Amino acid sequence: MSPDDHVTPVTALLVANRGEIARRVLRTCRALGVSSVAVHTPGEEDAPHVREADIVAALPVPEGRGPVDAYLDPDALVDAARRAGADAVHPGYGFLSENAGFARAVVDAGLTWVGPAAEVIERMGSKTLAKRVARDAGVPVADALDPADVRDEHLPVLVKAVSGGGGRGMRVVRDLEELPGEVDAARSEAASAFGDPEVFCEPYVERGRHVEVQILADAHGTVWAVGERDCSVQRRHQKVLEEAPAPGLPDALRARLHRAARDLAAAIGYTGAGTAEFLVPVTEDGPGEPVFLEMNTRLQVEHPVTECVTGLDLVEWQIRIAEGEPLPAPEPPEPRGHAIEARLYAEDPRRDWRPRTGTLHAFEVPAATAFFETPAGYGVRLDHGVEAGDEVGTDFDPLLAKVVAHGRDRRDALRRLSAALSTALLHGVGTNRDLLVRILGDPHLVDPACLHTGLLTGERLVALARPLADERTERAAALAASLAAIEAVRGHGPTPVGAPAGWRNVPSAPHERRHRTDDGREIVSSFHSTRGVHRPVAEGVRVLSVAPDLVVLETDGVRRPFEIHRAPATPGAPGSVHVRSSLGTVVLTPVDPLPVPETRVDPGALPAPMPGTITAVDVEVGQSVREGQTLLRMEAMKMEHRVTAPADGTVRELPVKAGERVPAGTPLAVLDHTGTEEPPGPPESTTPSHPVDEGSNP
């Protein structure tokens, strides 16, 4: 009997996901000639993944719940597949991708499940059970502890969700008194993200490398270890950079990791794509002995780096294996070159990773040569879930895109990726782009011996999170924005007909325009304008040309163009100006010289720093609180954030309750502060549920 006799072709595939991963799967469907089905919740009718699918099915949102819950409803997804005429389901990653009950429901409905069998997902989906299975297969394993059994001698420990991943439901605990509260918070976050509140603890390694092995296995007994990836650069236990092959690993250690992953896959009868994750302790003598952490029974977010270095389409092989096709050779392709992926998030690293929201007015990565597929030769790949004009909210993960550079070697890939990010147009929503560019040039990343999961912490994080543009660049950008604004209103303002832009009847007095930076500082630009000639008051600066969207300045004999992009005002957000140059992008808000009087706000009120859902209220009216104490917790972009007291005081009002969805600016609590004549202003940001001054296990 030939292998073709076991093949059951997929003709219509429903992608039980959204955003970037849905678009990625749709691209492979088009290449294979498979009809594609997208799903969406209300408000997503015009989302990119919806527009690109052949067939679209709506998902109902359960009454009183949010849109995420629709993607966590197996019955609704199976019903959507039936209604759309799909004969197979691909789960993507996140949501129900590692839910055995969903896999069973798909198969019971007579559909093809693109993934391992439900029994395998069950055994590997529970991280505690997966550790026992791995130990039985001879794979070295990190101990798992029941939270109730943790003692002082076990500290520090990492609280982890039994189901799911992506850093959600994870907490580092160093004090036994803090364990119950952190376990409760982890359970709440895990239940929201994965529908399973169960958690466990494992020993916390201060300095370790997160190395994972990509597996492909068919139903005919062939198991490939398709190389490994290093994912040690993380924030809040979530990966920020991933690369393949893992740099600086001794060949013997690399071989042990591959063998352990193959042995585990073979022991459980694994089929499809999966990832075995390991923690490699970092010692003064180099990498230590690896321990198994977990197995992800799905496609990983970082799979593009493996695709780039191997030339494989992992989604294609997921589908082919689900159809029954065997892998084409006993061994996988050898890696070629080096690939690095950067995750572009809508967040602010300078303010404890606060999520950023709004309208994405411009989104373009000019260096990208391929989209959702491996570049021909070496180049830059872009996998993105958003387009210019899209609204970025707080219901879903803050990942906007993955930018992947494939180079001849690691240095080539680092340089390509840094240039691609530096030249990207990202206007309207704050991102971690500047942080990524600084990381890519940091000596601790360039030297593989310095890699570990705690890199983005402490003083190094403070330094890396600085904007690329310094104060001098901000002043130049503000001047460019001021001159461009004058040129933009030529012929449209109250200036006499025929007079040059910037004309005024007191030529001796300079123009003054004010802008506010993203962090609230005010910049004053002063310049003279006579018959279209602009002369800045600042020394060493010359204006070479002015247009509404481009100003060329010469500073100390160096000429630089400044591109101007204006973002219109939206409800709750004033208009802004994005000024881009080779020195970085500066976001400015024009300051109205005659502002409209604002409604007085209670000086003790703490407004919501972002839209979100209140998950817990930790204090009561009349309670005394100390500076830094948690008052409330709220969820935004599937991460929990803590609202803390900016100073000692007493809780006067609590106008919100758990479960309530609130827009940005909503008063969450009102405090009467003690010990100060003037109460402090509202906190700059919430405090993250995952401490940012500590290292992390993946």
**322: its two tokens:** 């689900």
Residue 291 β-bridge partners? 279
Whether the Cβ atoms of residue 287 and residue 250 lie closer than 8 Å to each other: yes
Query: Nearest-CA neighbor of 543 among 609, 607, 483?
Result: 483
Other Cβ atoms closer than 10 A to 680: 15
Structure tokens at 683: 């906190």
Contact 622/670 with Cβ under 8 angstroms? no
Report which residue type is found at 652.
R
Burial of residue 622, with CB atoms counted within 10 A of its CB: 0-12 exposed, 13-18 middle, 19 or more buried: exposed
**Per-residue tokens: 55:** 């067939």
Q: DSSP states of 613-662 as a string?
A: EEEEE---TT-EE-TT-EEEEEEETTEEEEEE-SSSEEEEE----TT-EE
Q: Which amino acid is at 101?
A: G
Question: What is the distance between the alpha carbons of residues 489 and 564, in angstroms, rounded to a whole number?
Answer: 14
Give per-residue pLDDT as tens, 173-210: 999 989 998 998 888 888 876 778 889 898 888 789 99
Distance CA 334, CA 226 (A): 8
In degrees, rounded to 5, the angle at the alpha carbon of residue 304 between the alpha carbons of residues 444 and 415 is 40
Per DSSP, 166 falls in state T
* Residue 10: predicted pLDDT: 98
Beta strands 272-283 and 208-217, pairing class: antiparallel
Residues of the chain where predicted confidence (pLDDT) is lower than 50: 1, 491-499, 676-698
Distance CA 570, CA 440 (A): 34
Structure tokens at 329: 């050779």
The two three-digit tokens of residue 74, written as one number: 């197996």
What is the side-by-side order of every strand in the sheet holding 55-58? 55-58, 35-40, 12-15, 88-90, 112-113
Q: How many CA atoms lie within 13 A of 357 on its CB side?
A: 18
Q: How far apart are the C-alpha atoms of 659 and 616, rounded to whole Å?
A: 8
Rounded Cα distance between 310 and 225, Å, is: 12
Is 1.20.1580.10 the CATH classification of the domain at 343-441?
no
CB 319 within 8 A of CB 339: no
Angle at 130 between CA 126 and CA 132, to 5 degrees: 125
Evaluate whether 562 touches 556 at the Cβ level (below 8 Å): no
Can you tell me the distance from the alpha carbon of 644 to that of 688, in angstroms, rounded to the nearest whole number? 10
Predicted pLDDT at 609: 79
For 262, the enclosing helix (H) or strand (E) is helix 251-267
Asked if 584 contacts 434 with a C-beta cutoff of 8 angstroms, the reply is yes
Instruction: Give the span between the Cα atoms of 473 and 232, in whole angstroms.
Output: 32
What angle in degrees, to the nearest 10, is found between the helix axes of 100-108 and 118-125? 170
Residue 202 and residue 128 in contact, taking contact as beta carbons nearer than 8 Å: no
324 vs 220: CA distance, rounded Å: 9
Site of tokens 């001794």: 250
Alpha carbon distance 641, 477 (integer Å): 33
Fold of 3-114: Rossmann fold (3.40.50)
pTM of the model: 0.84
CA distance 567 to 587: 10
Spatial distance between the Cα atoms of 185 and 170, rounded to a whole number of angstroms: 9
How does strand 12-15 pair with strand 88-90? parallel
User: H-helix or E-strand containing 210?
Assistant: strand 208-217
Given a contact cutoff of 8 angstroms between Cβ atoms, the answer to whether 688 and 352 are in contact is yes
Integer Cα distance of 521 and 558 in angstroms: 26
In this structure, what are the phi and psi dihedrals at residue 426, rounded to the nearest 5 degrees?
A: -130, 90
CA dihedral 192, 198, 201, 204 (to 10 degrees): -20
Query: What is the per-residue pLDDT for 573?
Result: 63
315, 20 Cβ separation under 8 angstroms = no
Please tell me the distance from the alpha carbon of residue 56 to that of residue 37, in angstroms, as a whole number.
Answer: 6
The DSSP result for 402-438, as a single string, is EEEEEESSHHHHHHHHHHHHHT-EEESS--SHHHHHH
Helix axes 314-323, 303-310, angle to 10 degrees: 90
- Cα 363 → chain centroid: 16
Q: By the 8 A CB rule, do 634 and 662 touch?
A: yes
What Rg, from alpha-carbon coordinates, does the chain have? 27
Cα distance between residue 698 and residue 690, in whole Å:
12
User: Would you state the pLDDT for residue 35?
Assistant: 98
| Residue 495, amino acid | T
Q: Three-state SS string across 276-289, please?
A: EEEEEEEECCEECC
Residue 189 phi, psi (nearest 5): -70, -40
List pLDDT tens digits, range 80-101. Answer: 999 999 999 999 999 999 999 9
* Sequence ranges of the domains in the chain: 3-114, 343-441, 471-590, 605-688
Q: How many CA atoms lie within 13 A of 384 on its CB side?
A: 23
CATH 2.40.50.100 holds for 605-688: yes
Q: Residue 132: phi, psi to the nearest 5?
A: -65, -40
Find the distance separating the first CA and the last CA of the chain, reported in whole Å.
44
- Token pair 């679209």 is at which residue? 56
What is the three-class DSSP state of 180? helix
Residue with tokens 């100073």: 647
